[in-house]
Structure 1
Amino acid sequence: MSTFIRVEGYRVLLEEEEEVTMKWKNGFVSAGLEKLGGWDEKGTMGNAYVLPKHKDITKSRPICPTFSEPTSKICRKMAKCLNRMMKLILESSHFNMGSVSELGRRLRTINNKVERRGAEWGVEGASFDIKDMFSRLPHAAILDALDWMCEWCEGRGFKSVQVRKQGTGTKLSYRKQEEGWWAVDFANVRRFVAFELEPTYTKATGAILKQVIGIPMGKSSSPPLACILCMKAEYEFISTLGDKRNRVFGMRLMDDVSIFVARKKDGDDYGKEIIGRFGGCYDEELTLKRTDDEEGVWEFLGCKLTIEAEQPYLGCFQRNKNMAEIWQNKPCSKQSRTSVRGPAGGKKSVVITGELNRIYVNTTRQEELLPLVLTLKRELRGKGYPPEFFNNGLRRFAANKDEIWKLMVELMTTW
């Protein structure tokens, strides 16, 4: 109860649900949003619940499902539009990543840029966690960041952002409407997001609540809106660095962020200076907590990231959280994708290929590949996967990969 009822971010409403829903619909109509899609008369408010946090089960994370809301279909389309708009901003001007699969490529890019500076250069880095990313975001700051994003798109001549009506696909267009596409101009993007932020209703412990601070964790548009706010802050932070901006790099996926600074090895303190300044990068309502121990090694997005004194300076490898238990023949303490069971062989083959691909994409240090793949094989055998499933999956996956993968096939499929 205290997660929702007794916090400043939520206000308890005394009206009946039907009355609140009618006001909600009237606001939708008066905002002129019917042109984006119809109001679903069968839609209802979501029932909020809490989940224990993985790292500390004494704390809970509030979840506000919105799949049943009357505007959920429009909201999903709008989320696709917002994600497409973010791709327009130059990668060097912010730290946002679309997925974990970008990690390896970005690290290689940073290594190449630092290497071109010469052998006297190195890298200093730090890892942070953005606290209260959803629950503390002020609505005014979100709308200000959205205005910045829309102005960026309009300044480059785009008239609308569009979602394909059948199939998948989004694009920015110089036209307001095209056949086969659901289109929305940037004025209506602003208008819809403002509407979604104002009447954010949910039900919890039998009460109807209105969220007045922050954005709900269950809404499709919430992740891109939070990322746009952070992107704007990162863009402004990088812009203040002047001619030294090309020495600063970063990666962020939602609330996990790592920053890297190219510096000379002979006592250059520029890295520490930038990392210290980065602590005030984001909105004042957000708190940055440093999560690394300043030893040049930290966990980031399910991987272990390392900083070395020589090229390649930055590296990472996919981390198996159950590795110790697997090699000690103990039950795995953490759930993983390999826990998928069932009689269907195709299902298990997909799991094997998916795990191998995660290792391949997220590992830049080749010396880490063999123990990771070997651990995966041992884990699968312990969970009852037939040996030939793994062997055949590894052969297929390694067919067009580097020589080290072919060597692993030779080593691992013969025992």
Structure 2
Amino acid sequence: MKVPTMYWLPKLHKTPYKYRFISSSSHCSTTKLSILLTSTLGTIKNLIINCSNKAFENSGINYFWSVKNSLEVLDKLHAYIGDFESVQSFDFSTLYTTLPHILIKKKFTHLIKWAFKKSECEYICSNSFRSFFSSNKQKNYVNWTCFDTIYALEFLLDNIFVRFGDSVYRQVIGIPMGTNCAPLIADLFLYCYELQFMTKISKDPSKQHLIHKFNNTFRYLDDILALNNDDFSMYTKEIYPVELTLNKANTNNDHCPFLDLDIYIINGKLNTKIYDKRDDFSFPIVNYPFLDGDVPLSPSYGVYISQLVRFARVCNNVLDFNERNLCITEKLLHQGFRYHKLVKTFTKFYHRYKDIIRKYSSTCRLLIRSGISHPIFYGNILYKAQKCQYSPLKLTKPINRLIKKGYSYDTVVRSLKIAYFGVNIDSLIGSLHRH
């Protein structure tokens, strides 16, 4: 029998520093079972989403608060009609390790039975890659009945072991972070209580005014965003079991972070920009490719485009977009990226993703001038200078074109002085135009 080991990770974005324990479950005796359960519970979750969407269309009640990612949150925020009054974020402290097994078993038994009844199928056919409801057994799949699914989940919960040093422990409260199906179990467990609460207030005439407020609630695993709902904190103990502790994450109801979104309200209008908890670290973070190694150039500059797409989707203000662009390009320049290639890559991004960049009402040249950091010197100007070593004035027109495109005059002059060290180039510098 292979038992997962436990290791510790610091949470450096917290003040003071906190920590989380992870169970290294990638190669243990229950890994295959956990992978199959992940696939199976994912199919049940998709059924819940479809039914919840249909219920919202018919009744206007949002029974399913869980979201896949921040883009789904953005889409729902953009679709919201009305003024924005407040925004609050909450998170559960130690969600995974405090879930009572008896409650998980109770809620999932009811949920799984409901799913099989709703699907009108006898089996969920699963493998490591996909699963689906079926009325018949399928080859090359594990065919779960309702009883099999419930039994497999209970077996996994009853056989959670971790090794720490020379000792082996059985976890009797909570589920370990690190096992494959842990996020789905936590997500659907919380959904059961949220469904119960929304059903309760929809049937109580004295609380039906709360439906509209709680409809604008979004949850990603243990993080919750409540929009225009100052009453949310009053009902948390009524929604979730007492074993779970929910803490408010923001102090100002006009501003809060959620996932990679920094959300703030100004004059009733909601604005979003990028939030990265690593910005608060007191030490530099190693990320993005270093071009002084054997990393291919094309995929490396593709990383820059992917980040620009993310920035443009999230930031609805051009100043916020330029701020993130300046930050990433400064880092990329220090890691071997070339300024003129960054400009070329940005131009490609601008023309390829006009649908998300159009909202800034800004030209490509202006975004380049305001959003791309400048290096200590321009490598392409050094290269041009080497070709015109004995006739510097030939560089006047091409360099003026570069300055017009957004190159920094001071950095251009510095680059020329490096290229023509010990040579008098006052006539060349005097022929350059400031923009």
SS at match of 1:209: strand
Q: What is the identity, as a one-letter code, of the residue corresponding to 1:343?
A: D
In the other structure, the counterpart of 2:381 is: none
In the other structure, the counterpart of 2:353 is: 400
CA distance in 2, matches of 1:158, 1:392: 56
1:256 equivalent to 2:256? Answer no
In the other structure, the counterpart of 1:358 is: 310
Bigger drift between 193-202 and 235-244 goes to 235-244
CA apart distance, 1:162: 3.6
CA apart distance, 1:385: 1.7
- Determine which structure has the larger helix proportion and give its number: 2
CA distance in 1, matches of 2:161, 2:348: 49
Q: What is the identity, as a one-letter code, of the residue corresponding to 1:246?
A: H
Bigger drift between 287-296 and 219-228 goes to 287-296
Gap regions ≥5 residues in structure 1? 1-20, 22-43, 116-120, 262-270, 326-331
CA apart distance, 1:294: 3.0
RMSD: 2.8
Distance 1:209 1:77, change over 3 A: same
CA contact (8 A) 1:259 1:275 kept: no
SS at match of 2:196: helix
1:83-114 per-residue CA deviation (whole Å, 9 max, x = no partner) reads 232232225212211223322112223x23xx
Q: What is the identity, as a one-letter code, of the residue corresponding to 2:294?
A: P
In the other structure, the counterpart of 1:247 is: 213
CA distance in 1, matches of 2:174, 2:86: 33
CA contact (8 A) 2:86 2:253 kept: no
SS at match of 1:357: helix
Distance 1:251 1:408, change over 3 A: farther
RCO comparison, higher one (Cα < 8 Å, 6+): 1
Q: What is the identity, as a one-letter code, of the residue corresponding to 1:184?
A: W
Gap regions ≥5 residues in structure 2? 54-61, 203-207, 370-404, 407-435
1:292 equivalent to 2:250? Answer yes
Identity percentage of aligned residues: 18
1:251-270 per-residue CA deviation (whole Å, 9 max, x = no partner) reads 11121111123xxxxxxxxx
CA distance in 2, matches of 1:238, 1:350: 44
1:141 equivalent to 2:88? Answer no
CA distance in 1, matches of 2:26, 2:226: 35
CA distance in 2, matches of 1:364, 1:180: 48
CA distance in 1, matches of 2:108, 2:38: 12
Distance 1:234 1:296, change over 3 A: same
CA apart distance, 1:76: 1.3
In the other structure, the counterpart of 1:209 is: 169
CA distance in 1, matches of 2:164, 2:156: 19
- Deviation >6 Å, runs of 4+: 322-325
CA distance in 2, matches of 1:400, 1:275: 40
1:63 equivalent to 2:29? Answer no
In the other structure, the counterpart of 1:373 is: 325
CA apart distance, 1:334: 4.6
Alignment of 1:211-290 (within 5 A): 211-242=171-202, 243-244=208-209, 245-248=211-214, 249-261=216-228, 271-290=229-248
TM-score by length of 2: 0.71
CA apart distance, 1:61: 1.3
Distance 1:340 1:250, change over 3 A: farther
CA apart distance, 1:180: 5.5
CA distance in 2, matches of 1:397, 1:182: 45
Q: What is the identity, as a one-letter code, of the residue corresponding to 2:9?
A: L
1:51 equivalent to 2:13? Answer no
CA contact (8 A) 2:34 2:181 kept: yes
Distance 1:178 1:357, change over 3 A: farther
User: Considering only CA atoms, is the larger Rg found in Structure 1 or Structure 2?
Assistant: 2
Q: What is the identity, as a one-letter code, of the residue corresponding to 2:213?
A: R
Alignment of 1:101-180 (within 5 A): 101-109=71-79, 111-112=80-81, 115=82, 122-159=84-121, 160-163=123-126, 168-171=129-132, 173-179=133-139
CA distance in 1, matches of 2:285, 2:343: 23
